Amino acid sequence: MQETVKTIAGNVRRLRTARGLSAAALARESGVARATLAELEAGRGNPTVETLYGLAKVLGITFADLLVEGEAPPVHVVRAGEGAQVAGAVVQARLLRQATVERARVELYDMRVVPGQPRHADGHQAGVHEQLLIHEGRLRVGPESGPVEVGAGDFVAFGAAVPHVYEALDGPVAATLVIVTPA
């Protein structure tokens, strides 16, 4: 959680400054106490979902923009127990991936991969991305040039316009697969 708070702190300071807002103005417009904002920008504190939504709204960004930094690598893996985590009074969430989806088709699959042989898939059209959340089992997955091993609770995302592979390693794998295809 501490790494997430540091990322949020840097993002809030950077975005507030880029928009020409003082800390007092951001606190006032978002309804977040000035002391809470000061602690957050200092990389201390434990921001709630409500606090982050209030800040995101005033800064004109998505909630997830506060939780992630920089460009995603070619293969994006979030291991079980990792990832930006936030908690509110009712909801606890772990951000797995943020993506801009405009004029795209999104396919969601409940997927099983059986052990035995790897599944080699041809590349899809340019711009297609696959994302998986592993529920059970261990899987070798990703571009054939550099697949990764993931297990229960891990999340992986990769550009699927290149040949890629799915291989159950120890037994059956249960996962949720999301395919995003540009229109």
Structural domain boundaries of the chain? Answer: 2-70, 104-182
* Alpha-carbon 73 to chain mean position: 12
Torsion of CA 22, 28, 32, 33, to 10 degrees: 90
Q: Encode pLDDT of 57-78 as tens digits.
A: 899 887 777 887 755 567 778 8
Tokens of 45: 């504190």
Highest mean pLDDT among 39-43, 47-51, 151-155, 173-177: 151-155
Q: Say which CATH class 2-70 falls into.
A: mainly alpha
- Among 3.10.20.30, 3.90.79.10, 2.60.120.10, 1.10.3720.10, what is the CATH number of 104-182? 2.60.120.10
Residue 156: pLDDT band with limits 50, 70, 90: very high
- State residue 68's pLDDT score: 78
Residue 122: pLDDT band with limits 50, 70, 90: confident
Tokens of 43: 């990389």
Beta bridge partners of 119: 166
- Closest residue by Cα to residue 124 from 69, 82, 162, 92: 162
**Cα separation of 178 and 87, whole Å?**
25
- State residue 26's pLDDT score: 94
Residue 154: pLDDT band with limits 50, 70, 90: very high
Tokens of 178: 């999301």
Buried b / exposed e across 30-58, counting CB within 10 Å, b at 16+? bebeeebbebbbeeebebbbebbbbbbeb
* Backbone phi, psi, residue 55, to 5°: -65, -45
- State residue 61's pLDDT score: 82
| pTM for this model (two decimals) | 0.59
